[in-house]
Structure formats: structure tokens, C-alpha cells
């Protein structure tokens, strides 16, 4: 490889992987000098799209090239996100008028046809699609919900992702657990529960929901995860001899698990301890029903003491 050919080969190889787009910082890191880059800009072999971002050979970049240019223009660590990621994952049919990019560095700003979002992203919330950095399908759905997509429209986006088989239950569960109070999380959780209860019915989340209901409605907090009659119980009010179990779909759907549940309930009944069971759907969507049942059981115990 001659000295004259080397820069062009480096540029061509990089452009081939990035839909015809290269960034100045990438070329410098590969040994192409600033003088060589500027010479190719002057001769029309590179065309400036954004500061430090160039199209190779011509300006007629396609849709994929525009996405690459937007992400590269926003600096290292930038990823395609929100509506643009949803369109790329084929969750939504219409491409947005501007390209949405999530950035991790301070000082990033919107550019022509680019909308930037400053937010932290966990490592498992970022992946690549055809080499292009992009938020995972799960994180993309959360960002859509945070942007106001809800109800049937959010369900349609989820449904498209589900049909393509690009969603992972484990990754969705971690996302929802890690962003419990985030904007859009509640809306996404409702949609996910309809399709895959195992992604949202984690034991810790259901326990948190019941404790939160107790605090909101002035119910004395129970003891949590204590051994009663030889079994670990989710919640126990000793003074009322009342046990409450939060049944996760993940841990209560097998025949063996159902048999264990029945044995646990029998042991309580024989010991004179009442037991109430609530599902994840009831805790999330029918909190009044749960609260009324717990209050009724506690009042019944108080009236007999």
C-alpha cells in the first residue's frame, strides 16, 4: 500500500461499514492526517455534512447514511434513540422529521435535523443495528413511553417488536426494575404485563408495591420475608395472625409451585393463621381491592382480640 493510496483505502474501508459516512476523529485515530483530510475536502472527495462528519464521494447519502451522520455528529458514545430507533427497529412505520440521538456528554446540542437527548444509558440498554449504535428495543420502548406514547399506540409499537422476536424477557425485566419511577415506566409496565407477565412480576417489585400501598393508606407495615410455620412468607402481621402473599407469575406458574402454595396455605390454616394471596395484576391495576381486603382482615382480627 503506497503512502498516496493509504488514506483513501482507510477512508473507503470505514465508509463501507458506515453507509458512506466518516468522522474526522475516526480518520485521525487511523493515521490519516488533518492535511490529507482537508485536501480531500477541497478536491470534492469528501463532503462536509456536519462539523467533522463527511460523506465520501458524493452528497447523495441515503436514509442509513443520514442516521450515521447524525450519530457521529453528536460525538463518542452517542446512539440512535426514541422515534428514530423505533423506526429503525420497525416498531413504527413513519420516520420522524428529525433524527433522535441520545448523548452522554455535556454540551451536546441540537443540529440541523437532529434532536439530542441528554440521559444516562446502562450498558445493556445500548446495542448496534447494522453496526450503528442504537438503544435496545426495550430501552427504545421506555423512551417512547417517556415521550408521551401510551395506550393503544404504545401497544402497537410493542406488538411490532414482539412479532419480530427482538424483545428479551430478562432485559425487559431488568429495565423495568431499574427504572421503576422513571417517566413512562408505568405506561410501559401496563403494556408489558398484557404480553409477558413474567417480565414485570418479579418478587421484589410486587413486594415493593404492597408496602407502598400500606404506607399510602395508613396500614401498619407488616414483617417481610419471615418464617411462619416452616415457610418463608412475603408479609406477616403477627398481632392479627394474617399472612399476605404476592404471587409472581414467574414463580407460581408451574405445577410444583402451585402444589407448594397449597401446602403453605394448609399449614397456616391448621395453625389458625389466615392467608390472602394477590396477583401482580391486582397489585398494579386493582390496588383498592387489595387495600380493602387487607383492611377487612386486619379489622376482623382486631374485633376478636
Query: pLDDT tens digits, the chain, 305 residues: what are they?
Result: 445 569 999 999 999 999 999 999 999 999 999 999 999 999 999 999 999 999 999 988 999 999 999 999 999 999 999 999 999 999 999 999 999 999 986 656 667 899 999 999 999 999 999 999 999 999 999 999 999 999 899 999 999 999 999 998 888 888 988 898 899 998 998 888 777 665 655 566 677 788 888 989 999 988 888 889 888 888 899 999 999 988 765 444 445 556 777 888 899 999 999 999 988 778 888 899 999 999 999 987 666 65
Helices (H), the chain: 5-17, 24-29, 34-43, 63-73, 82-88, 137-146, 151-164, 169-178, 185-195, 203-216, 255-270, 280-285, 287-303
Is the distance from CB of 273 to CB of 242 less than 8 angstroms?
yes
Q: Where are the domains of the chain?
A: 1-59, 62-197, 203-303
Yes or no: is domain 203-303 CATH 3.40.960.10?
yes
* Architecture of the domain defined by 1-59: Orthogonal Bundle (1.10)
Check: CB of residue 243 under 8 Å from CB of residue 236: yes
1-59 shares its CATH topology with 203-303: no
* pTM of the full structure: 0.67
- Using DSSP's 3-state secondary structure scheme, residue 220 falls into coil
Write b or e for each residue in 58-85: b if 16 or more Cβ atoms lie within 10 A of its Cβ, otherwise e: eeebeebbbbbbbbbbbbeebbbbbbbb
pLDDT confidence of residue 2: 47
CB-based contacts of 158, cutoff 8 Å, min separation 6: 91, 141, 167, 188, 191, 192, 195
Amino acid at each position: 500500500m503506497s503512502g498516496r493510496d493509504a488514506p483513501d483505502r482507510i477512508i473507503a474501508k470505514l465508509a463501507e461499514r458506515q453507509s458512506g459516512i466518516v468522522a474526522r476523529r475516526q480518520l485521525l485515530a487511523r493515521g490519516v492526517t488533518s492535511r490529507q483530510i482537508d485536501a480531500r475536502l477541497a478536491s470534492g472527495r469528501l463532503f462536509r455534512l456536519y462539523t467533522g462528519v463527511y460523506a465520501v464521494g458524493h452528497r447523495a447519502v441515503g436514509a442509513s447514511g443520514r442516521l450515521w451522520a447524525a450519530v457521529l455528529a453528536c460525538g463518542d458514545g452517542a446512539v440512535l434513540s426514541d422515534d428514530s430507533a423505533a423506526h429503525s427497529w420497525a416498531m413504527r412505520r413513519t420516520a420522524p422529521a428529525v433524527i433522535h440521538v441520545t448523548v452522554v456528554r455535556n454540551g451536546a446540542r441540537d443540529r440541523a435535523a437532529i434532536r439530542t437527548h441528554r440521559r444516562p444509558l446502562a450498558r445493556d440498554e445500548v446495542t448496534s443495528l447494522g453496526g450503528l449504535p442504537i438503544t435496545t428495543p426495550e430501552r427504545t420502548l421506555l423512551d417512547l413511553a417517556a415521550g408521551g406514547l401510551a395506550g393503544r399506540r404504545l401497544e402497537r409499537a410493542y406488538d411490532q417488536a414482539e412479532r419480530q422476536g427482538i424483545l428479551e424477557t430478562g432485559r425487559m425485566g431488568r429495565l423495568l426494575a431499574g427504572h421503576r419511577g422513571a417517566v413512562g415506566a408505568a405506561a410501559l409496565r401496563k403494556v408489558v404485563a398484557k404480553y409477558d407477565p413474567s417480565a414485570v412480576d418479579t418478587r421484589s417489585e410486587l413486594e415493593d408495591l404492597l408496602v407502598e400501598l400500606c404506607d399510602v393508606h395508613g396500614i401498619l407495615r407488616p414483617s417481610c420475608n419471615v418464617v411462619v410455620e416452616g415457610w418463608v412468607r412475603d408479609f406477616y402481621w403477627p398481632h392479627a395472625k394474617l399472612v399476605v402473599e404476592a404471587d409472581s407469575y414467574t414463580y407460581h406458574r408451574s405445577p410444583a409451585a402451585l402444589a407448594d402454595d397449597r401446602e403453605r396455605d394448609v399449614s397456616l390454616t391448621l395453625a389458625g393463621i389466615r392467608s390472602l394471596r394477590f396477583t401482580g395484576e391486582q397489585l398494579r391495576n386493582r390496588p383498592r381491592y387489595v387495600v380493602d381486603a387487607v383492611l377487612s382482615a386486619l379489622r376482623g382480627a382486631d374485633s376478636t382480640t
